[in-house]
Amino acid sequence: MILRAGILYDGTLESPKRNVDVVIEHGRIAAVRAAEGDSDLAAACVTPGLVNAHVHLEASGEPDLFTMVQTTTPNERLLKAVANARKSLRAGVTTVRDLGSSNAIAQSLRDAIDAGTIPGPRMRAAGNVLCMTGGHGWPIGREIVSPWDARNAVREQLKAGADCIKVIATGGVLTKGAVPGNEQLCPDELSFAIDEAHRHGLRTAAHAIGAAGIKSALRANVDSIEHGMLIDEEGVALLKERGAYLVPTLAAAACILEHLEDGTQPGYVVEKARKIGEVMEENLRRAVAAGVRIAGGSDAGTPYNYHERYAYEVELMHRVLGMTPQQALHAATAVAAELVGIHRGRVAPGEPADVLLLERDAGADVRALRDPVMVLKGGEVIA
Ligand SMILES: [Zn+2]
């Protein structure tokens, strides 16, 4: 198949290429070359498929996430996950990392997608989050009682088919009683869990909002900081020094803040979100300015934050963090892909043919990503 691109963003920060053909063979990109002769498909703009490094597929943007988890059955949530996988893919999200699910829902979904029985993005899945007893995320968590228990909890996730691990380093917005600025798992628990995951070749992600927890997770060798809204200068320096990724999940905060006055979200959520909203932009912009590796991830599934709206995260990285549209696209493709670890998230020879066909130049206006004309996953047209 020959796909002709008016302008091609290949996922890197190099200048986009104009009038090129992307040659696709057996689901992979065989060549990228100057346009010549006939083509099978054509688009004004072509980009890699989007990679969302932070999602929860069993949730669909319900206003009170953990109450939803506690008042639905695993079967009901599995069906939500199936629907959300399909919506993600149609919207151009061809790879995701599910950072926390109950009942091994994400692992089952990943396996069904890999087997080709249901449509969805390529997936990595963390399974249960590792949290302190009663801590942030406990309704989808494995509650840790000691460092050695943290090791065992990693082994349990591995046994249940997880291919990455999520630890909860600080409180969070959506859990009653969990203070976002406070540390939750102890440094020893983080170290044991992260070391155990690495021993088995699994990458680790830390939910970390407060400055102290961010630094504890980084010192424990975590691969990515999720959220990071209250990061301080020492935390930014440590992120750079360790070469870890920051996944700012801007859409998660924005969607909660946009609906504060609706009366649909619990009071504690409203209160915590307001406080974080006042300082997060400045803190995250400081991290971007320092040259920290930013990977795209939206925390899709959280309140009003829909899986099919990942393009909004890319828009926010541009608008709020001051990244250029191409830098934001780079973060949501190649950088996020590097973190997820399935492929390189680029339109380059040897890569899976996961590409978006767009009507307009996404580098001129990042909103062009909102509704792709066509999505290819592994060279196949997504209906
Ligand atoms: Zn999350």
185 C-alpha vs ligand 1 centroid, how far in Å? 16
214 C-alpha vs ligand 1 centroid, how far in Å? 15
pLDDT computed for residue 70 by the predictor: 96
pLDDT bin (cut points 50, 70, 90) of residue 204 is very high
Residue 318 identity (one-letter amino acid): H
Mean pLDDT of 38-63: 98
Alpha carbon distance 35, 20 (integer Å): 4
E-strand stretches of the chain: 2-8, 17-25, 28-34, 41-48, 50-55, 93-98, 122-125, 129-132, 141-144, 164-168, 203-208, 224-227, 245-247, 293-294, 355-358, 374-377, 380-381
Q: Which of 299, 246, 335, 251 is nearest to 97 (CA)?
A: 299
Spatial neighbors of 18 by CB under 8 A, at least 6 apart, are 6, 7, 8
99 C-alpha vs ligand 1 centroid, how far in Å? 6
283 C-alpha vs ligand 1 centroid, how far in Å? 19
Q: Is the pLDDT of residue 138 over 90?
A: yes
278 C-alpha vs ligand 1 centroid, how far in Å? 20
Alpha carbon distance 21, 349 (integer Å): 12
379 C-alpha vs ligand 1 centroid, how far in Å? 30
Mean pLDDT of 298-323: 97
Mean pLDDT of 29-33: 98
* Length of the chain counted residue by residue: 383
pLDDT bin (cut points 50, 70, 90) of residue 283 is very high
55 C-alpha vs ligand 1 centroid, how far in Å? 6
Alpha carbon distance 102, 71 (integer Å): 13
CB-based contact 231:245 (threshold 8 Å) = no
Q: Is the pLDDT of residue 302 over 80?
A: yes
Spatial neighbors of 12 by CB under 8 A, at least 6 apart, are 330, 334, 346
Q: How far is CA 350 from CA 22, 120, 260, in A?
A: 12, 21, 46
Is 245 strand, coil or helix? strand
Cα end-to-end span (Å), the chain:
17
170 C-alpha vs ligand 1 centroid, how far in Å? 13
Taking the alpha carbons of 376, 377, 380, 381 in that order, is the dihedral positive or negative? negative
pLDDT computed for residue 46 by the predictor: 98
338 C-alpha vs ligand 1 centroid, how far in Å? 19
252 C-alpha vs ligand 1 centroid, how far in Å? 9
CB-based contact 299:61 (threshold 8 Å) = no
Q: Is the pLDDT of residue 104 over 90?
A: yes
Q: Which of 117, 205, 196 is nearest to 159 (CA)?
A: 196
Q: Which of 220, 214, 215 is nearest to 197 (CA)?
A: 220
Alpha carbon distance 380, 193 (integer Å): 39
Specify the CATH class of 2-48+346-381 in words: mainly beta
174 C-alpha vs ligand 1 centroid, how far in Å? 10
CB-based contact 162:110 (threshold 8 Å) = no
pLDDT computed for residue 374 by the predictor: 98
169 C-alpha vs ligand 1 centroid, how far in Å? 13
Residue 17's CB: how many other CB atoms inside 10 A? 18
201 C-alpha vs ligand 1 centroid, how far in Å? 22
227 C-alpha vs ligand 1 centroid, how far in Å? 9
pLDDT bin (cut points 50, 70, 90) of residue 91 is very high
308 C-alpha vs ligand 1 centroid, how far in Å? 16
What is the 8-class DSSP label of residue 341? -
DSSP line for 193-223: HHHHHHHTT-EEEEEE-SHHHHHHHHHTT-S
pLDDT computed for residue 383 by the predictor: 76
Mean pLDDT of 1-30: 98
The overall average pLDDT reported for the chain is: 97
Alpha carbon distance 115, 161 (integer Å): 15
Domain boundaries, the chain: 2-48+346-381, 50-340
218 C-alpha vs ligand 1 centroid, how far in Å? 18
309 C-alpha vs ligand 1 centroid, how far in Å? 15
15 C-alpha vs ligand 1 centroid, how far in Å? 33
pLDDT computed for residue 351 by the predictor: 98
Spatial neighbors of 157 by CB under 8 A, at least 6 apart, are 126, 127, 128, 130, 142, 165
pLDDT computed for residue 23 by the predictor: 98
299 C-alpha vs ligand 1 centroid, how far in Å? 5
Q: Is the pLDDT of residue 78 over 80?
A: yes
381 C-alpha vs ligand 1 centroid, how far in Å? 29
Mean pLDDT of 26-36: 98
226 C-alpha vs ligand 1 centroid, how far in Å? 8
pLDDT computed for residue 42 by the predictor: 97
361 C-alpha vs ligand 1 centroid, how far in Å? 31
Q: What is the 3-state secondary structure (H, E, C) of 22-75?
A: EEEECCEEEEEEECCCCCCEEEEEEEECEEEEEECCCCCCCCCHHHHHHHCCHH
Span of 17-31, 148-162, 269-283, 287-301 with lowest mean pLDDT: 269-283
Q: Give the pairing of strands 41-48 and 2-8.
A: parallel
pLDDT computed for residue 69 by the predictor: 97
54 C-alpha vs ligand 1 centroid, how far in Å? 6
241 C-alpha vs ligand 1 centroid, how far in Å? 25
302 C-alpha vs ligand 1 centroid, how far in Å? 7
CATH topology of domain 50-340: TIM Barrel (3.20.20)
